[in-house]
Amino acid sequence: VLDKVNLAEVLAGMSDHWMPRVVAAYNDDTVQVLKVKGEFVWHKHDGTDDLFIVLRGSICVQLRDGDVAVGPGELFVVPRGTEHCVRAEEEAEVLVIERLGDTGAEADARVLEAEAELRWSR
Amino acid sequence: VLDKVNLAEVLAGMSDHWMPRVVAAYNDDTVQVLKVKGEFVWHKHDGTDDLFIVLRGSICVQLRDGDVAVGPGELFVVPRGTEHCVRAEEEAEVLVIERLGDTGAEADARVLEAEAELRWSR
């Protein structure tokens, strides 16, 4: 029988910020959880939407057009090709679904590093 | 600026069981929330995994190999091609991500009806 994943339990064992842990595969995409605090880097994914569900705390998804505040139990999808930068004043916990390997050329080293990390932990 | 979705708010406006509401698109897939109670029907999707996150209550995902109890804050992915049948003793609230139109030939009218409903509400 296949395994379920308790998201809070996985997150309880994590401490670093911006270091996603892959918890499941869904079709060609990865389901990740991560703790965030502070600000990531502006980037976009040309080949995949980026789905966020906030599990604890709140995040601000900065878009070039404005900010979207996403709180616990809220879902937000960044469409492919849309530049975004996540910021969190206080630590927050987030579930993210995205297709790996579709990060746009504008991504800087930090995004690519996080992606490499994901491939490892897969 | 794009919209976020408050999952609990959407669910608060729903009352029927097994009637999914599409809350977002993610790549080629639909993100749905639904209230469940009782038992659905055995079916499988040959072309898509089926991702479940339980938001409230508990569900039992019956597989031919055994049952998986999935509680609040837990995630479970039914791999494509795997027969499954969700059951819930008490009402539960679930987020589901799946690709529409990939239901296997074995699906009965109830699954096809739910899919048709989804296309409408899209």
Beta strands in B1-122 (DSSP E): 5-6, 21-26, 29-39, 50-56, 59-63, 66-70, 74-78, 84-98
Summarize pLDDT for B92-114 with one digit per residue, the tens: 999 999 987 655 444 445 565 66
Assigned token pair, A15: 């401490």
Assigned token pair, B29: 């897939």
ipTM entry:
0.86
String of DSSP letters for B82-114: --EEEEEEEEEEEEEEE-TT-B-TT--HHHHHH
Predicted TM-score (pTM) of the model is 0.87
Assigned token pair, A98: 């995205």
Does residue A31 have a pLDDT over 80? yes
Query: Which residues of A have a CB under 8 Å from any CB of B?
Result: 1-8, 23-27, 29, 31, 48-49, 51, 53, 55, 63, 65-71, 73-80, 95, 97, 99
CB contact (8 A) between residue B31 and residue A77: yes
> What integer best gives the mean pLDDT of chain A?
88
Are A103 and A43 in contact, with CB atoms under 8 Å apart? yes
Question: Average pLDDT of B8-14?
Answer: 97
Q: A86 falls in which pLDDT band (50, 70, 90)?
A: very high
